[in-house]
Amino acid sequence: MYAAIAANIGIAVCKYVAAAFTRSSAMLAEAIHSTSDIGNELLLLFGMKRSARPPDAEHPYGHGKALYFYSLLVSIYIFAVGGLLSIGEGVFRLLHPQPSSHVIWNYAVLAVAAGFDSYSWRISYRELLSRKDPGETVWDEIIGSKDPTVFTVFLEDSAALAGTFLAFVGILFGQILHEPYLDASASVSIGLLLVCVSVLLVRESAALLVGERTNRSRLRRLREIILRDPSVDAVGDLLTMQLGPEEVLLTVAIRFRRNLDVQQLESAIDRIENRIRRDEPTVVRIFLEADSLKPTSTSQPGSQAA
């Protein structure tokens, strides 16, 4: 991530210089976009360090959710700095059009930025694919991922490539048609793109921050692990919560077979916990409850089926 921050700083400086020389609204919007990316990466980096702190007396489940808080700040930062400033710059230039000059600088800087952004996008895309379960789409992984550093970086890189394309189209057609409004319109389009990305990130980060469950495939595997034990008769409510990207809290009600004595029951609980920790190492907190699973408990209005 340090390399990405350094690359974005260099790209942002080049874009600001090109925007100053050419007076291009779209290039200035792209410079603001790169500035937003730098701030986002710094916030994520800080959040990763904060979330890595060990549990303490006041935070017995650790600090993993700190990353979700900082990813929420990232989404707000994209909206305020990237989206609104780009839209504001575009609207100002629409009201006060100004022709661009020396546009060759714009094309050169956009080409270099597209090269760096394409390389970063490929890396983030491969990381996203490596975490995707069979049968899931990339979109499923984005909205189901519990690691904001993965889907945030991927969406940022995708927005960066799309923004570069919009800037190129606006500058090119503005030059060909001698129409400065197209350059300014590209700035507004880039801002709207960033606003859409920020809204999606707010939705995902807020869900994780308030206590989202783990993904469906892990829930299915956890249920299968428990049911494979010969002492288990049925599994009731299986509740999970993401404490961090690689930390899951699990509480589950289990109905054990009636012929078990206390020692056998304790052995079964230990055996199930060990299997869960072995097969699903991200489950760091496990609470198993021996439950009768009475039929009346599932027939009440508003109850959740097992």
Q: Would you state the pLDDT for residue 188?
A: 94
Angle value at C-alpha 161, between 157 and 165, nearest 5 degrees: 165
The sign of the CA dihedral 67, 247, 240, 291 is negative
Q: Would you state the pLDDT for residue 37?
A: 86
Classify domain 2-209 at the CATH topology level.
Alpha-lytic protease prodomain-like (1.20.1510)
Alpha carbon distances (Å) from 44 to 66, 232, 281: 10, 43, 24
**CA gap 133, 142 in Å, rounded:** 12
Q: Would you state the pLDDT for residue 1?
A: 67
Give percent above pLDDT 70 in the chain: 94
Q: Would you state the pLDDT for residue 243?
A: 93
Q: Would you state the pLDDT for residue 290?
A: 83
Please name the residue that has the structure tokens 């986002």: 40
Residue 273 — φ and ψ, nearest 5°? -60, -40
pLDDT band, very low/low/confident/very high, at 274 (cuts 50, 70, 90): very high
Q: Would you state the pLDDT for residue 292?
A: 54
Closest by alpha carbon to 169, among 158, 183, 190?
Answer: 183
Contact 271, 226 (CB under 8 A): no
Is pLDDT above 70 for 304?
A: no
Is pLDDT above 90 for 23?
A: no
Rounded to a whole number, what is the largest CA-CA distance in the chain? Answer: 87
Is pLDDT above 70 for 294?
A: no
Alpha carbon distances (Å) from 251 to 137, 159, 198, 223, 286: 29, 39, 33, 12, 6
Look at 7-16, 63-72, 194-203 and tell me which has the smallest mean pLDDT: 7-16
Residue 249, both tokens: 């809290």
pLDDT band, very low/low/confident/very high, at 301 (cuts 50, 70, 90): very low
**CA gap 150, 160 in Å, rounded:** 15
Residues 150-179 have a mean pLDDT of 90
pLDDT band, very low/low/confident/very high, at 48 (cuts 50, 70, 90): very high
Angle, helices 25-51/180-209, rounded to nearest 10 degrees: 10
pLDDT band, very low/low/confident/very high, at 170 (cuts 50, 70, 90): very high
Residue extent(s) of CATH 1.20.1510.10 domains in the chain: 2-209
Classify domain 216-298 at the CATH topology level.
Alpha-Beta Plaits (3.30.70)
The sign of the CA dihedral 281, 283, 289, 290 is negative
Provide the residue type at 95 as one letter: L
Residue extent(s) of CATH 3.30.70.1350 domains in the chain: 216-298
Residues 246-268 have a mean pLDDT of 91
**CA gap 265, 19 in Å, rounded:** 71
Residues 178-202 have a mean pLDDT of 91
Residue 5 — φ and ψ, nearest 5°? -65, -45
